[in-house]
Amino acid sequence: MAQTYLLFDLGSDEEKVQQARHKLESWKQAFRLDKKLQYKLERELSSEPGSAEAKSEAKEEPAKTEKAKAAKGKAKSKRKSEAAESENHGPVKLFVRLYFSGHEKLSEQRWIDRIPTEEPFKGSSPKIVREGEPTFDEILKQFDTLE
């Protein structure tokens, strides 16, 4: 079975990332491509100065009074969620693996042609890496290490 990887740089637009993920999930269900089409996201952590401040504030000890504890707990959880959101706004790379057998070459080629032309993937500088190319082993290792 031949593997082909499509690499997309989706930038830091979280809405575009979610649209791409939703589109791939709908294709997997509609066309029964469970093991033939797999994807993983690689999020690079952004090192914004605001996220470091939010992390240091989240480590503060809570106040001793009950009212202060409740108020501080709410603010603390809000700061943690803001810190998590700011970390997720770094550049996102999408790895799509097409894993078709030898007799499904036409189906594989149709998906290779179709995916980069669909809306959330347009303009995200698609790169196609086929089995046997020099960078294939690097992409394979990187795909396997992602969750």
| Spatial contact of 3 and 137, defined as CB atoms under 8 Å apart | no
The overall average pLDDT reported for the chain is 80
Residue, of 54 and 138, whose pLDDT is higher: 138
Mean pLDDT of 95-107: 95
The CA distance from 132 to 140, in Å, is 11
Residue recorded with tokens 């990187």: 142
Is the overall model pTM greater than 0.95, yes or no?
no
Residue recorded with tokens 């036409």: 106
**pLDDT, tens digit, for every residue of 46-92?**
665 444 433 433 333 344 444 444 555 555 444 444 444 545 578 99
Say what the pLDDT of residue 116 is. 96
| Spatial contact of 126 and 8, defined as CB atoms under 8 Å apart | yes
Which helix (H) or strand (E) segment is 51 a member of?
helix 49-58
Domains along the chain?
2-44+90-145 (3.30.70.600), 49-87 (no CATH)
